[in-house]
Structure 1
């Protein structure tokens, strides 16, 4: 907060006064005191200057963050879009790729799940890549291990069924509930359980976590849409507008 106020104050001064007036080092103590009082009086009479400075500062910070995010995506593009192990859904040949980092215990991920499904259905030309990123405790990790193990054993259709079911699940996650869920889809629950703690499953989750760290992702859901990082939940309308924008 202090840094923001300080930066805003400096920017407000730059908007309100000519550049040479900011050279305080060239002033005497008396001149600096007079200058500060004049600045205070000006800002009190023109408080909108501070609001203008806040708006400019926010715009600059957002632009800098967007540029930094684009560089992160570019530097890690192969592992983001074509890691060779993450589930690929939607239209595999779509002209737009949407990547989602998710956690099954995340309430906003659960909300986003339906929005993403609607986007894929209504658009029809979006390739979806799902990244398992369990960060909300042991139940999150248990669910992800089970989903990844099912994908490795039974393939993408099994993963998609479990992914949908886990996103709809509101009760505690435990191995008994997970095996019961797998059985409803005709999957070999015992084989999936035996695979959960394998090095293959561990490596997939480890690699995704390392990627998320490089991308400075700390929460879920987080999306990558082409060259842009989208941090947090987005409703369907906003996602479709962003997709349309990417298509130009």
Structure 2
């Protein structure tokens, strides 16, 4: 379960492994064109959680083997509880390793077969794992949550899954996202880790 070598190497160039994690101050925000936000929200692979029609939309581009994404996921339930009017959008952005690519294929297969309503438990479970999350471990966890392994394996290796991953990578590249996690909050991008408090401050700014 891998992408082509050229796509994978391009993704690795955006790994952002040197990005600071949860500095005392939040990453500097960058204004982004509305059409690029719309491109993200039109990706077929996104998962929308939280308020269906929130007053602020927050998007997270993440990788299942990013340690700072793990911390972000651990704080996600608290963020959704504290911000009931927030619409939160997850974007699988596998850029760190071949293992990340394989894990994302498994996760997207689960999404395609079982829908976004069942995705959040898998998302949190994968980030709760210790060590590297690869395709086999992701499939096993998805199976534990009720997924059919054979159908998920077939879907993970499908052209549609490959297309979804390429589209997400291309959109993230257009946005200039050079680290995971990266966030779009309102019309601003924040590249790098953010604490729960920093996220809430950025959401408040987006509300004006």
> 1:222 aligned to 2:179?
no
- Distance in 2 separating the partners of 1:186 and 1:167: 18
Deviation at 1:86, TM superposition (A): 0.9
Which stretch shows the higher mean deviation, 166-175 or 101-110? Answer: 166-175
> 1:190 aligned to 2:153?
no
Q: Check whether the contact 2:107–2:138 (CA below 8 A) recurs between aligned residues.
A: no
- Distance in 1 separating the partners of 2:190 and 2:126: 23
TM-score (norm 2): 0.81
Structure 1 residues 147-177: Cα deviation after superposition (integer angstroms, max 9, x where no partner): 1111011111332221111111113334443
Structure 1 segment 111-126 matched on structure 2, within 5 A: 111-126=71-86
CA RMSD of aligned residues (A): 1.6
- Distance in 1 separating the partners of 2:74 and 2:151: 29
> 1:134 aligned to 2:94?
yes
| Structure-2 change in CA distance of 1:219 and 1:153 (3 Å) | same
Counterpart residue number, 1:240: 200
Q: Check whether the contact 2:45–2:92 (CA below 8 A) recurs between aligned residues.
A: no
- Distance in 2 separating the partners of 1:174 and 1:168: 13
- Distance in 2 separating the partners of 1:91 and 1:108: 24
Tell me which of 112, 128, 132 is aligned to 1:152: 112
Q: Check whether the contact 1:81–1:97 (CA below 8 A) recurs between aligned residues.
A: no
- Distance in 2 separating the partners of 1:175 and 1:222: 23
**Contiguous gaps of at least 5 residues in structure 2:** 1-27
Counterpart residue number, 1:16: none
Higher relative contact order (CA 8 A, sep 6+): 2
Structure 1 residues 13-52: Cα deviation after superposition (integer angstroms, max 9, x where no partner): xxxxxxxxxxxxxxxxxxxxxxxxxxxxxxxxxxxxxxxx
Please say which structure displays the higher CA radius of gyration.
1
Determine helix, strand or coil for the equivalent of 2:53: coil
Determine helix, strand or coil for the equivalent of 1:98: strand
For these two proteins, the number of residue pairs brought into alignment is: 181
- Distance in 2 separating the partners of 1:93 and 1:74: 18
Q: Check whether the contact 1:148–1:159 (CA below 8 A) recurs between aligned residues.
A: no
